[in-house]
Structure 1
Amino acid sequence: MKIDKPSDFNEKVEKFSEILRKFNRVHNLTNYKNISEIVDDSIRPLEFLEYYPKTAIDVGSGAGFPAIFLAFILKDCSWTLFEPNLKKSSFLSYVKAEMNLENLNVKSEKIELSSPFIADLITSRALMKTKDLLKICKGFHDEKTQILLYKGSGVKDEIVGIDAKIYNFKNRNYILIGGYYG
């Protein structure tokens, strides 16, 4: 899939960065200082996706990486962000309201405690082992769902027996899983 950044993408990133700096001083949401590296890491895998999703889920959204930046680009996609940590989900809700991100829905709960629905895309950034993540996402994916995971090194052991492709860029492994894993 081709990455087409909207004309206001950089402006939105800057506004998000300001909000994050403000909240991070008080709530220590993330240790990341260089927002451009986070943005590049978040959006790079869009080129690997097979189709444009209409519905997406981000599991363990934390401070909003990768979901916020993906939502800036995938504007016609409805995003549900699952973040059980109250200070992080409150931050995400504030970002949604402050930036008028109508395509975001923030859930202050674990995905496995929510009512399931099938998504076209599921993302997660270094949350847990791949098979454990697939297990907690049961009921949210089917054979057409693209599952995009942002992983570090050692990921090959995690995907044994799973039909997955690994894309590597710098120190990041992006895992794209297609199909249903019940």
Structure 2
Amino acid sequence: MKVQNYKILLKKFNSTHNLTRFKNIDENIIDSLKILDFKDLSFAKNIVDIGSGAGFPAIFLAFILKADFYLFEPNAKKASFLRMLKIECELPHLHIFKQKIEEYQTPFKADIITSRALMNASSLIKLCQNFIDEHTLFLLYKGSGVDEELKNFKHYEIFARGFRRYCFIKP
């Protein structure tokens, strides 16, 4: 039901505000959730999503996981859409911030930090330093060329599905 509500709201909001150009929303929803076939994320209490955009992957993970989700989206239209989703899809454990993560003044430690093709892993980890401790795990949704990007990391795991690479990094 929540996924159907999301699709209706995205179609309506997208017709006016052009949030995303995705042709196949269902495939992107599956992509957001497919990681749960590879890894159990139920341990997480605080999940941070950087550059949340139209909500991929965070919104769909929030439909399933019992964690508090903190979505950082500096684009006003996209942040507004996420706020509407929070209300319409009844997601009280969703916290939306219309700002970049590095501007956030009250950092906390995240169990998982997600991002979907926002920037390279090294740069993203630097931006998130105030949210990381020895237990933090990065979940990055990347493309097939990620191997070169991760060559300087010692602790990582990659799960593949088509062109998608789900990367877990322990910084």
TM normalised by structure 2 equals 0.94
Change (3 A) 1:102 1:135: same
Q: Secondary structure at the match of 2:149?
A: helix
- Matched to 1:139, the amino acid is N
Select the residue among 26, 33, 48 that pairs with 2:38: 48
Residue number in structure 1 paired with 2:139: 148
Q: Tell me how many residue pairs correspond in the alignment.
A: 168
Q: CA deviation at 1:47?
A: 3.2
1:63 aligns with 2:61: no
- 1:93-104 pair list within 5 angstroms: 93-104=83-94
Q: Secondary structure at the match of 1:156?
A: helix
Residue number in structure 2 paired with 1:177: 169
Cα separation, 2, equivalents of 1:47 and 1:109: 31
Residue number in structure 2 paired with 1:113: 103
Select the residue among 156, 159, 165 that pairs with 1:164: 156
Cα separation, 2, equivalents of 1:93 and 1:15: 14
Residue number in structure 2 paired with 1:17: 7
Select the residue among 28, 42, 45 that pairs with 1:38: 28
Q: Secondary structure at the match of 1:81?
A: strand
- Matched to 2:108, the amino acid is F
Q: Secondary structure at the match of 2:130?
A: coil
- Matched to 1:172, the amino acid is R
Q: CA deviation at 1:35?
A: 1.9
Residue number in structure 1 paired with 2:74: 84
TM normalised by structure 1 equals 0.89
Cα separation, 2, equivalents of 1:143 and 1:101: 29
Please list the CA deviations of residues 74-104 of structure 1 after superposition, one character each: whole Å capped at 9, or x if unmatched.
0x20000000001100110011011111010
- Matched to 1:171, the amino acid is F
1:123 aligns with 2:80: no
How big is the alpha-carbon RMSD for the aligned residues of Structure 1 and Structure 2? 1.1
- Matched to 2:143, the amino acid is G
Q: CA deviation at 1:160?
A: 1.5
1:138 aligns with 2:129: yes
What percent of counterpart residues are identical?
Answer: 49
Change (3 A) 1:22 1:100: same
What runs of 5+ residues in structure 1 fail to find an aligned partner?
1-10
